[in-house]
Amino acid sequence: MTLAPDRPTVAAPSVESLQRAVEECRGRVGARVPDHMVDDVLSLTLIEAWKKLSTFDAARGQVEAWVWGICHNMIRKQLTEAGRAKRISDAAEGMRVQRVQLSADPLDVLTERFDQVDWMQRVASFVGDEDWDVILDLALTAEHPRDVAARHSMSVRKIQVVRQRCEAIARVVRAAQTVPLPTTTRGLRDMAAACVPLDVFDADRVLPMLLRDDLELRTTTELGAELGVSASNAYRVLRQVRELLDIATTVLDQRSLTQEFTS
């Protein structure tokens, strides 16, 4: 059950007044977003306004101005998400066009496009918005990494780190989408481990450590000594490989749930 937000001590706008204020935004929303997005923006604005009802202060302005502030932020958010979704779709289409043959079966082409978009959306969700935007810029433009770094206020070294992490995550997601689904908890852990590439982040040495039953009993100093690195470096690579292992496990879990739901 969803609980209503805490009520402010002063008289709060009624649901009806919120609905009227949101509807009054329709013209300004329509001037800023495509027609098919208008109703979505208004609906999300109403939901967000209701969630934030306890923050409304009549002394600072009328409800219409307060709602428009929420609506304006929602417009920016929805346009950003729509732009990112289009870039993902365009990137997937570009990858598909590079491989498609003139004799390809239309159903195979459609399935491949869906798989590409699904893969890229999963990767984007794990990578995070900021790093994913960097990767799309690197993939879809002919710019030098130095120019991409400048636009995102990053160092070239940071761009390289982002690329390495994103490429590793992309490989993990791809593997976890295609391997056979395990049928036991132990099988899930082993299959997730099999999805982690061993040529990144010293995973060939770190991954066996993460799978050991006594890992929680070991200190980072001890693990670092075993790896031949400092405790701080041991913590870093353990965290990096654990992230990949967790991502593989999540994708496998999602596939299992989907299979249960559709079977």
Domain identity same for 107 and 88 = no
Does residue 152 sit within a domain?
yes
Does residue 8 sit within a domain?
no
Residue identified by tokens 């729509």 is: 82
Does residue 262 sit within a domain?
no
78, 37 contact by CB (below 8 A): yes
DSSP tag of 218: S
Give me the domain span that covers residue 244: 183-253
Tens-binned pLDDT, residue by residue, of the chain (263 aa): 344 444 444 467 888 899 999 999 999 999 888 888 899 899 999 998 988 888 888 888 889 999 999 999 898 888 877 776 666 556 555 555 455 444 455 555 555 555 677 788 888 889 888 888 888 888 766 678 888 888 889 999 999 999 999 999 999 999 999 999 988 888 899 999 999 999 999 999 999 999 988 888 888 899 999 999 999 999 999 999 999 999 999 999 988 887 765 55
DSSP tag of 217: G
Taken in order 44, 48, 49, 50, the sign of the CA dihedral is positive
| Boundary (domain end) residue, out of 99, 131, 163 | 99
Domain identity same for 120 and 169 = yes
Phi first, then psi: give them for residue 90, nearest 5 degrees.
Answer: -65, -40
Domain identity same for 33 and 58 = yes
Output the DSSP codes for 53-113: GGG--GGG--HHHHHHHHHHHHHHHHHHHHHHHHHHHHHHHHHHHHH--TT--HHHHHHHH
Does residue 219 sit within a domain?
yes
b or e along 187-226 (b: 16 or more beta carbons within 10 Å of the residue's beta carbon)?
Answer: ebbebbbebbbeebbbbeebbebbeeeeeeeeebeebbee
